[in-house]
Amino acid sequence: MRINQKYRMLQESYLFSSIQKKVSAYQEKNPSAEIIRLGIGDVTRPLCPAAIAAMHKAVDEMAEAATFRGYGPEQGYDFLRTKIQQYYQKKNVRLSLEEIFISDGAKSDLGNILDLFAKENRVLIPSPVYPVYVDTNLMDGREIVYMEASKDNGFLPMPCEDVKADIIYLCSPNNPTGAVYTRAQLQKWVDYAIRQDAVLLFDAAYEAFITDSGCPKSIYEIEGAEACAIEFCSLSKTAGFTGTRCGYTIVPSALKRDGDCLQKMWLRRQTTKFNGVPYIVQRGAEAVFSEEGMAQCRDNIKQYQKNAQVIAKTLDMLGIWYVGGENSPYIWMECPNGMSSWEFFDDLLERANVVGTPGIGFGENGDGFFRLTAFGTQEATQMAMERLKEVYGK
């Protein structure tokens, strides 16, 4: 018996445990300090009333033999796929139902999609990056090439014709940087992917935060994308489903590689290794896409967007460079006074009692930068920014 020794290539991430240890130690020494956390990537606002009502109804259905639901289709119920189809129609993207796969979240599908690709493929990943892209490829032993995101390119790396790639990851709005690609930029990526015969894995988990019409919410708004891109989306940030677990993945029928149709392969993967999302959750997700549900979710998102604006205005006032915040719940700021990510973490914790996420936790390119999130409450965000002004405003 041999294990998959590729797992030995994985590095343990101590990012969030290191943060927790530092915060706990500080709190112990300073029991009266009111620490505000702007580091979490999790939402804080409850589910919208439409989803709550729909899930209660679905739970009741499960209590009666006449309305009970057993095994559902692995790729999701048509009642939900139809809603997502309509959601895309509003972005002028036409999808057939079989191109829409309901998932238990973008993270699962981003990992599992790699089942479809040979291990010999070369993977292009931006840095800093959501660690899942890297780790899932290391587990398979694929070669990874990093594209450098930096202050110079606004943390939006563009394709370089000299770099050969088979699988390309893009996340826009980006986690962790909050940077968002424009239509023209994404067109260049799609054109590059087609020339390279590559598959573009497009993570659109934060699309609901885009307000600028110049920034596409779906890769399929870009000409040619249906022949090169798979899109991963989620209700986690759109509707606060981080603990309710529902997302969707689009695999276009037109996407063929190596003579095979990836939509058919993904259907085979999912029917073999997945049994679908709970009926109750799918009914909740359906309600999110109702007119009422969408309005309620937009209200929640607006609250987070207000937080992002408060953070952005504060950084503007302090003359600190940043990206994100406008079309994203994340603000990626340069650490003041040339501090490293961890130096600023300590400084911010000790002097302002505010916790954020050191940029270096997302890759070496992230050093000297810091992630703040808009997912806190309004009061906490406002208070944290007052403290920042006091400490760094001299």
Instruction: Give Rg (Cα) of the chain.
Output: 21
Does residue 145 bind a second copy (CB under 8 A)? no
As a whole number of angstroms, the distance between CA 163 and CA 176 comes to: 24
As a whole number of angstroms, the distance between CA 107 and CA 44 comes to: 20
Minimum CB distance to a second copy, residue 75 (Å) = 14
Q: What DSSP line would sit under 338-377, residue for residue?
A: G--HHHHHHHHHHHH-EE-EEGGGG-GGGTTEEEEES-S-
Chain positions 217 to 246 lying near a second copy, rule: CB under 8 A, are: 240, 242-245
Chain positions 69 to 128 lying near a second copy, rule: CB under 8 A, are: 69-72, 104-105, 107-108, 111-112, 115-118, 120-121
Query: Among residues 77 and 369, whose Cβ is nearest to a second copy?
Result: 77
Residue among 180, 219, 262, 348 that touches a second copy (CB under 8 A): 262
Does residue 199 bind a second copy (CB under 8 A)? yes
Tokens of 230: 């798979």
Tokens of 233: 């989306």
Does residue 65 bind a second copy (CB under 8 A)? yes
Does residue 292 bind a second copy (CB under 8 A)? no
Closest C-alpha to 383, from 34, 17, 5: 34
Minimum CB distance to a second copy, residue 151 (Å) = 29
Q: Is residue 265 a contact partner of residue 116, using CB atoms and an 8 Å limit? A: yes
Chain positions 38 to 57 lying near a second copy, rule: CB under 8 A, are: 42-47, 49, 52, 55-56
Minimum CB distance to a second copy, residue 89 (Å) = 28
Query: Among residues 131 and 368, whose Cβ is nearest to a second copy?
Result: 131
Does residue 276 bind a second copy (CB under 8 A)? yes
As a whole number of angstroms, the distance between CA 310 and CA 383 comes to: 10
Does residue 10 bind a second copy (CB under 8 A)? yes
Query: How many Cα atoms are found within 13 Å in the side-chain-facing hemisphere of 143?
Result: 8
Does residue 376 bind a second copy (CB under 8 A)? no
Pairing state of beta strands 122-127 and 167-171? parallel
Minimum CB distance to a second copy, residue 105 (Å) = 5
Does residue 379 bind a second copy (CB under 8 A)? no
Query: Among residues 156 and 280, whose Cβ is nearest to a second copy?
Result: 280
